[in-house]
A and B are shown apart, each in its own frame.
Chain A
Amino acid sequence: AQTVTQSQPEMSVQEAETVTLSCTYDTSESDYYLFWYKQPPSRQMILVIRQEAYKQQNATENRFSVNFQKAAKSFSLKISDSQLGDAAMYFCAQSQGAQKLVFGQGTRLTINP
């Protein structure tokens, strides 16, 4: 069975600094997909970044990048130059083929001005 674990219930960072959110997962498959979603307070959940397991290169989207370690089954999210608008719940998620997405428990990120 798929499992996704986020071991940091809460994180905080100073504005303009860099923060890394951790995520580990467990799967027996070799081909799968990984995602980070952001849920701002009282707003829609949106996709931040995604990674295909068969790609060795880490995905990057502007200030957001991932550190994908396939052997360790680790998929951390790095946010550079943190901004106040980055404050949100962040969810790591994994899917395999046509199967449904499995979410982690979430990490609440606070940005200190």
Chain B
Amino acid sequence: EADIYQTPRYLVIGTGKKITLECSQTMGHDKMYWYQQDPGMELHLIHYSYGVNSTEKGDLSSESTVSRIRTEHFPLTLESARPSHTSQYLCASSLRIPYNSPLHFGNGTRLTVT
């Protein structure tokens, strides 16, 4: 059962549109992450947060932005979608301590930009 929820599950949108991918978790986790993953490929960290009002860019350069106003909510926004943004976006969360706490993943949002 998912304690971390991503909406929408699938999204097809035209070039230039602004979109927000939602991610919420009910586990009280401090740490949250956004990964970009092309189908069957490796995960690339694009944003992460260690808690409220904390956001950091990940390893993969991304034109998206994130916010963390509430512990349970970590939305990702693309101001102007492009075909190169077509991918799957995975949200995850974990406890801050202990350090070996596993990541809990959402079901992902599969984004297609036409």
Chain A residues with CB under 8 Å of chain B are 33, 35, 37, 43-47, 50, 52, 89, 91, 95, 97-98, 100-101, 103-106, 108
Q: Please, how many angstroms separate the alpha-carbon atoms of A95 and B106 in the complex? A: 20
| Given the contacts A44-B106, A50-B102, A100-B58, A105 and B45 also touching, CB distance less than 8 Å | no
B58 A89 Cβ-Cβ under 8 A: no
Q: Please, how many angstroms separate the alpha-carbon atoms of A108 and B40 in the complex? A: 8
| Given the contacts A43-B107, A44-B2, A33 and B100 also touching, CB distance less than 8 Å | yes
Q: Please, how many angstroms separate the alpha-carbon atoms of A50 and B98 in the complex? A: 13
Task: Name B99's contact: one of A37, A44, A98, A105 (CB within 8 Å).
Answer: A98
A45 B90 Cβ-Cβ under 8 A: yes
Residue of A nearest to B90 (CB): A45
Q: Please, how many angstroms separate the alpha-carbon atoms of A104 and B33 in the complex? A: 17
List of A residues within 8 angstroms of B90 by Cβ:
45
A95 B99 Cβ-Cβ under 8 A: yes
Is B103 an interface residue when CB atoms closer than 8 A count as contact? yes
List of A residues within 8 angstroms of B48 by Cβ:
100
> CB-defined interface of B37-55 with A at 8 Å, one 1/0 digit per residue?
0001111010010000000
Residue of B nearest to A53 (CB): B100
Residue of A nearest to B45 (CB): A100
A105 B42 Cβ-Cβ under 8 A: yes
List of A residues within 8 angstroms of B105 by Cβ:
44-46
Per the 8 Å Cβ criterion, residues 27-69 of B in contact with A are: 33, 40-43, 45, 48, 58
Is B96 an interface residue when CB atoms closer than 8 A count as contact? yes
